[in-house]
Amino acid sequence: MIFSSLIKKKDTLTTLPETATLGEALALLEDTGFRCVPVLDKSGHIFRGNIYKMHLYRHKSRNGDMSLPVTALLKNATKFVSIKAEFFSVFFAMRDLPYIAVLDDENQFYGILTHNSMLRMLAAGWNVNNGSYVLTVTTPDERGSLMNASKEITRYCQIVNVISFDPEHSAMKQVLFTLPANVDHDKMIKVVKRLEKKGFKVPEIEDLHNQY
């Protein structure tokens, strides 16, 4: 389920009714500075799509009729998720959007989940604010390799976060281990040497101090 704290609720948003004209939509977007806004039906409950400033500018530059209803240039009409949607379905649904509309249990417009909110949540999950170093460790993509790498690291310190990546067409896995904030440079070096002694490669070390 989507974390409700990440959702900007409808009553805090700038929206447009489907009865608005293209000219009114452009004026609103120029006044607010928004790239796009949600468009709702006459009742204000049903999500109809998004209207983008760039499409309005393009239409106007081609001498298009700006008195047409905003529905003439609606985009993303099918780009929405349920408030009960799981994290990964939301993540992939919104990857090319500035935000995605969220519908409640009755399929009415509840609010939006922005790209920035999702990125902030991922950053918080990665514990970059509470970490010292991120070690990129290359391991064979086989059973037990992640456990073995973790075991070697925890000889010296805790692990505050782990993210793994599987590069395409590769038998190797890249694992990012975030070490806790109390790990100094000397201890980090000991961890790296231990990993390399056990056959793991550490191609990249990111120093989180004073970065976030």
Contact (CB, 8 A) for 161 and 136: no
Contact 47, 40 (CB under 8 A): yes
The second-level CATH assignment, the architecture, of 4-120 is Roll (3.10)
What is the rounded average pLDDT of the residues 176-186?
93
Report the pLDDT value the prediction gives residue 2, as an integer from 0 to 100. 61
The tens digit of pLDDT for each residue in 6-22 reads 899 999 999 999 999 99
- 204: phi > 0 → left, psi -120 to 50 → alpha, else beta; which? beta
User: Mean per-residue pLDDT for 140-148?
Assistant: 86
Hey, what are 182's tokens? 């109390």
Identify whether the C-beta of residue 144 lies closer than 8 Å to the C-beta of residue 32: no
Residue extent(s) of CATH 3.30.70.260 domains in the chain: 128-207
**Packed helices 145-153 and 185-197: angle between N→C axes, nearest 10 degrees:** 140
pLDDT digits (tens, 9 = 90+) for 114-143: 988 887 777 776 666 678 999 999 988 788
pLDDT digits (tens, 9 = 90+) for 69-122: 999 999 999 999 999 888 778 888 887 889 999 999 999 999 999 988 887 777
Residues 151, 157, 160, 166, CA torsion sign: negative
What residue ranges of the chain are covered by domains with CATH 3.10.580.10?
Answer: 4-120
The CATH homologous superfamily of the domain defined by 128-207 = ACT domain (3.30.70.260)
pLDDT at 91: 81
* pLDDT tens per residue, range 10-66: 999 999 999 999 999 999 999 999 999 999 999 999 999 999 999 999 999 999 999
Q: What pLDDT, on a 0 to 100 scale, did the predictor assign at position 168?
A: 57
Strand 36-40 to strand 109-114: parallel, antiparallel, or no bridges (unpaired)?
A: unpaired
pTM above 0.75, yes or no: no
As a whole number of angstroms, the distance between CA 73 and CA 70 comes to: 6
